[in-house]
Structure 1
Amino acid sequence: MITTIALDLDNTLLTSEKTISPRNEAVLKQLHTAGIRVVLCTGRPIKAIQPLLKQLGLTTPTDYSITFNGGLVQQNATSEVLARTSISKADIAPLYAYAKTLRIPLDVIDLTQVFSLVDLGKSTYETFLNGLMPFHDVTFDELPADDQFGKVVSSTTKAVNNRANLPESVKAKFHAVPSRRNLLEFLPQHTDKASGLKQLLAHFGEDYSNLMAFGDEENDLGMLEAAEVGVAMDNAIPAVKAVATDHTLNNDADGVAVFLEQYFSLA
Structure 2
Amino acid sequence: MITTIALDLDNTLLTSEKTISPRNETVLKQLHGAGIRVVLCTGRPIKAIQPLIKQLGLTEPDDYSITFNGGLVQQNATNEILARTSLSKDDLAPLHAYAKELGIPLDVIDLTQVYSLVDLGKSPYEAFLKGLMPFSDINFEDLPADDRFGKAVSASAKAVDHRDQLPAEINAKFHAVPSRRNLLEFLPQHTDKASGLKQLLAHFGEDYSNLMAFGDEENDLGMLEAAEVGVAMDNAIPAVKAIATDHTLNNDADGVAVFLEQYFGLV
Q: TM-score, normalised by structure 2?
A: 0.99
Runs of 4 or more above 2 Å deviation: none
1:82-121 map, 5 Å? 82-121=82-121
Unpaired segments of 5 or more residues in structure 1?
none
Q: Match for residue 7 of structure 1?
A: 7
1:64 equivalenced with 2:53 (yes/no): no
1:70-219 map, 5 Å? 70-219=70-219
1:222 equivalenced with 2:222 (yes/no): yes
Measure the CA separation in 2 of the matches of 1:28 and 1:85. Answer: 29
What per-residue deviation string (whole Å, max 9, x for no partner) do you get for residues 110-165 of structure 1? 11111111110010111111222221111111111111110000011110111111
> Which residue identity lines up with residue 114 of structure 1 in the other structure?
V
SS in 2 for 1:159: helix
Instruction: For residue 76 of structure 1, report the CA deviation from its aligned partner.
Output: 0.6
Measure the CA separation in 2 of the matches of 1:237 and 1:112. Answer: 31
SS in 2 for 1:18: coil
Q: Match for residue 234 of structure 1?
A: 234
Instruction: For residue 226 of structure 1, report the CA deviation from its aligned partner.
Output: 0.2
> Which residue identity lines up with residue 185 of structure 1 in the other structure?
E
SS in 2 for 1:152: strand
SS in 2 for 1:60: coil
What per-residue deviation string (whole Å, max 9, x for no partner) do you get for residues 170-220 of structure 1? 001100001111110000000000000000001101000000000000000
Instruction: For residue 246 of structure 1, report the CA deviation from its aligned partner.
Output: 0.5
Measure the CA separation in 1 of the matches of 2:137 and 2:35. Answer: 44
Measure the CA separation in 1 of the matches of 2:41 and 2:53. Answer: 11
Q: TM-score, normalised by structure 1?
A: 0.99
Q: CA RMSD in A?
A: 0.7
> Which residue identity lines up with residue 121 of structure 1 in the other structure?
G
Instruction: For residue 37 of structure 1, report the CA deviation from its aligned partner.
Output: 0.1
SS in 1 for 2:77: coil
> Which residue identity lines up with residue 168 of structure 1 in the other structure?
A
> Which residue identity lines up with residue 81 of structure 1 in the other structure?
I
Q: Match for residue 256 of structure 1?
A: 256
Measure the CA separation in 2 of the matches of 1:43 and 1:258. Answer: 25
Measure the CA separation in 1 of the matches of 2:49 and 2:143. Answer: 26
Instruction: For residue 233 of structure 1, report the CA deviation from its aligned partner.
Output: 0.5
Measure the CA separation in 2 of the matches of 1:134 and 1:214. Answer: 29
Measure the CA separation in 2 of the matches of 1:217 and 1:10. Answer: 9
Measure the CA separation in 2 of the matches of 1:234 and 1:130. Answer: 26
SS in 2 for 1:131: coil
1:49 equivalenced with 2:49 (yes/no): yes
> Which residue identity lines up with residue 74 of structure 1 in the other structure?
Q
> Which residue identity lines up with residue 88 of structure 1 in the other structure?
S
> Which residue identity lines up with residue 249 of structure 2 in the other structure?
L
Measure the CA separation in 2 of the matches of 1:55 and 1:204. Answer: 24
Unpaired segments of 5 or more residues in structure 2?
none
What per-residue deviation string (whole Å, max 9, x for no partner) do you get for residues 221-264 of structure 1? 00000000000001100000011000011111111111111111
Q: Match for residue 34 of structure 1?
A: 34
